[in-house]
A = this chain, B = another copy of it.
Amino acid sequence: MTKKYGLHGKLTATDGNKDALASILVKASKLVFTMKGCHVYFISEDKNDPAAVWVTEVWDSKEDHDNSLQVPGVRELITQAMPLLAEKPQKAQELDILGGALR
């Protein structure tokens, strides 16, 4: 069986734009979670890294993940988020899912 595909990544906002960035990503999460192959998709922050917003995802495959970025509503939200980024999104980890409880 192919392992499910996970991604734990970090987006760092420019000064003062962290909440705006987080709000766009939360909107995106609501769209993305309805898509084919999506098991987990949540947005979070880490006290120790106040300008950063984390995105944690589990998909049936990397292909399903990649397709999610092409959907019209999601593309618009990405376009809104881009100018708020202080740097390129960082993939903290690309993960192969071994097990656990997923919807």
Q: Say which size band chain A's interface belongs to.
A: 35 or more
- Complex interface: stretch among A50-58, A59-67, A69-77, A79-87: A50-58
Contact B6 A97 (CB under 8 A): no
Contact A54 B101 (CB under 8 A): no
Residue pairs across A and B with Cβ atoms less than 8 A apart, 28 shown, are: A6-B56, A25-B98, A26-B100, A30-B99, A30-B100, A32-B101, A33-B101, A40-B40, A40-B42, A41-B100, A42-B97, A42-B101, A42-B102, A43-B97, A43-B98, A44-B95, A44-B96, A44-B97, A44-B98, A44-B100, A45-B95, A45-B96, A46-B93, A46-B95, A46-B96, A54-B95, A56-B100, A103-B103
Nearest 5 A/B pairs, CB to CB:
A42-B100, A33-B101, A26-B99, A44-B95, A29-B100
